[in-house]
Amino acid sequence: MADHTLVFIVLGLTLAAFVWGRFRYDLVALSALLGCVILGLVPGEEAFYGFGHPAVITVAAVLVLSRGFERSGVVDVIAEQVLKVGDRLFLQLVALTATVVVLSGFMNNVGALALLLPVAMRLAREHDTSPSLLLMPLAFGSLLGGLMTLIGTPPNIIISAYRGSVTGETFGMFSFFPVGAAVALAGLVFIVLLGWRLVPQRAGNASTEGMFDISHYLVEVRVDEEAKALGWTLRELQRELEETLPVLAVLRGEQRYAGHAFLGALKEGDVLLVEAGPEEMKLLEDKAGLRVGIDPQEEILEQDRAEAKEGGQLQRDASLPDTENTKSNGLDTEGLELVEAVVRNDSIMVNRTVTQLRLHNQYGMHLVAVARDGSRLRQRLRDIRFRPGDVLLLQGGESNLSESLATLGCLPLARRNLTLGQPRMLLVSLGIFALAIAAMLLDILPNAVALALAALVTLLIGVLPLRDGYQAIDGPVIILLGAMIPVGTALETSGGAALIANSLLELGGTWPTVSILILLFVTTMMLSDVINNAAAAVLMAPIAVSLANGFDASIDPFLMVVAVSASCAFLTPIGHQSNTLVMGPGGYRFGDYWKMGLPLELIVMAVAIPMILLVWPL
């Protein structure tokens, strides 16, 4: 079988796995790489050279610098001004979207969205605005802003590095700016004037009256051995609380009893499913001694049962920590805080349950409730497998809440107290970044080296602690890039890219070159709507160069088409992390994105193609 046929088979299976979404994209990419090595498409000694590729180093450095901006207070200064815009929706949209467009040009676009998302939620709460009207424009704005500079989005970095491998010269820091700025400006105008009107208003489940009203969450409370309610009936519980609190069900072991039909006395280990807000939760704890969350001992038991099931044998209680030690490590009831957080795409929680994570014992947190697609889930909390975009209501100690959320890969949505960084560190952070940009513009250092040096200095002088620097590096994206770069090279060396390009040339041989650019634009854009945009850029770059060679034209406009279109995934929530992050908090459904995304993609293409041909002629 020909090499290019094998490459097409591997890529077909890889794309199918990306779209299916059962396995995380970094695992899919690594499988594709190893498959190519086994099939002889990638030499074994070159299998992992992608992890040292300039594009991978640059992405990692940009992620560290972005976290440094956050830590030093650069973004908080901007966010503080955004919160002053008032209650007019138009001004809120302009302030938020324009700010994220600018920030995304100089830091990772997902990072820019993550920093402004709590600000948008606070605006929505304070001015009684539906978050759904603000969050999709914010997400799309982060994608548009990334088009403007080399470091704004991974596809730009990949395309620049690929151009360097072909011509010996990479794109510069602001080579993308003329086209990217024109597209971003056109997209911004569309979003704030018309686009937001195409977004469904999810007032019922994502506004202040819905998603943020904790009384709309289903809460689990446990009867432990010290609970006052031990031995009470539900009627006695209601009488003691002096109000009617809806108990939807009582769970005893594997049995589930409807609340209205449960007439017996409560026993140790019983779990009550209730709809409760902050006031009711406090009453349950103070007057009945009922505690929110999974019992620490049960969490350990559940985890060991799962591990034993996977290993084929059951570990007995002798291997478990004793109950007294477990309880002594439990969460102190003083200083507890409730926080809403959204699960990121790269979170360690994805496709795992609360017991598998040992949320209480490992992170000192209780899961109170889960909302998905804008509405609460009514199944047992311990049975829920988390998905990207899920909104979680968590209870934890104030001292370690932020660190635990960062480790878990969750983005807090609760009201955020803006803390200004020290002025010295703020100016130092900006100064380091400015020097790196100057070194790139003056060709003193290669892009990857200049940015890596800036990231190193940021860590050495304490702008960002070393631990935060490592946490800032998005591991799944690094694995994706490092694995897919050799696969993309195999597509080129096997003749697969040339074969696809020749087929397109035969199909449109009589068409003007601009028609092929449009076809390339649409194909790449559609691909990025269903797979990671970095993967789309890696796969389409060699095809673009082969097309340019077929037309005997400059490769620059073709590569620019791929760079812009790969970053414009507006049709689905899975095409880009920014889209996924706002899905839960905004109460969006899968089919909501194309309503604003489709006209926005048409506008982007209508502006980008002429600008590319003007700035980068054939």
Structural domain boundaries in the chain: 74-204+474-615, 215-323, 330-412
Least confident of 75-79, 251-255, 338-342, 385-389: 75-79
d(CA 354, CA 582): 22
- Phi/psi of residue 348, nearest 5 degrees: -70, -10
Q: Which CATH superfamily is domain 215-323 in?
A: Regulator of K+ conductance, C-terminal domain (3.30.70.1450)
* Residue scoring higher pLDDT (118 or 267): 267
Tell whether the model's pLDDT for residue 418 goes beyond 60: no
**Average pLDDT of the chain, as a whole number:** 80
- Phi/psi of residue 47, nearest 5 degrees: -60, -35
* Three-state DSSP string of 287-303: HHCCEECCCHHHHHHHH
Tell whether the model's pLDDT for residue 450 goes beyond 60: yes
Tell whether the model's pLDDT for residue 291 goes beyond 80: no
Tell whether the model's pLDDT for residue 415 goes beyond 70: no
d(CA 285, CA 12): 55
Tell whether the model's pLDDT for residue 456 goes beyond 90: yes
- Residue 397 host element (H or E): strand 391-397
- Sign of the Cα torsion 104, 433, 76, 474 reads positive
d(CA 236, CA 229): 9
Across 41-45, 213-217, 261-265, 320-324, the highest mean pLDDT is recorded for: 41-45
The predicted model gives 224-250 an average pLDDT of 80
Tell whether the model's pLDDT for residue 58 goes beyond 80: yes
The predicted model gives 181-209 an average pLDDT of 78
* Residue scoring higher pLDDT (104 or 328): 104
Tell whether the model's pLDDT for residue 366 goes beyond 80: no
Per-residue confidence (pLDDT) for residue 168, from 0 to 100? 87
CA-wise closest residue to 527 among 519, 517, 518, 535 = 535
Least confident of 46-60, 98-112, 268-282: 268-282
Across 119-128, 165-174, 219-228, 361-370, the highest mean pLDDT is recorded for: 165-174
Per-residue confidence (pLDDT) for residue 489, from 0 to 100? 85
HSE-up (13 A, CA, CB side) for residue 436: 26
Tell whether the model's pLDDT for residue 10 goes beyond 70: yes
* Residue scoring higher pLDDT (601 or 512): 601
pLDDT category, 159, cuts 50, 70, 90? very high
Gyration radius of the chain over CA positions: 26
For 531, which DSSP code? S
* Residue scoring higher pLDDT (366 or 137): 137
d(CA 469, CA 62): 11
The predicted model gives 538-557 an average pLDDT of 89
* Helix locations, 364-464, DSSP H: 401-408, 423-441, 447-460
pLDDT category, 184, cuts 50, 70, 90? very high
* Residue scoring higher pLDDT (563 or 472): 563
The answer to whether the 215-323 and 330-412 domains have the same CATH topology is yes
125: left (phi over 0), alpha (psi -120 to 50) or beta: alpha
For 247, which DSSP code? E
pTM of the model: 0.70
Across 66-80, 151-165, 366-380, 582-596, the highest mean pLDDT is recorded for: 151-165
330-412 CATH pick, 3.30.70.1450, 1.10.10.10, 3.40.605.10, 3.40.50.2300: 3.30.70.1450
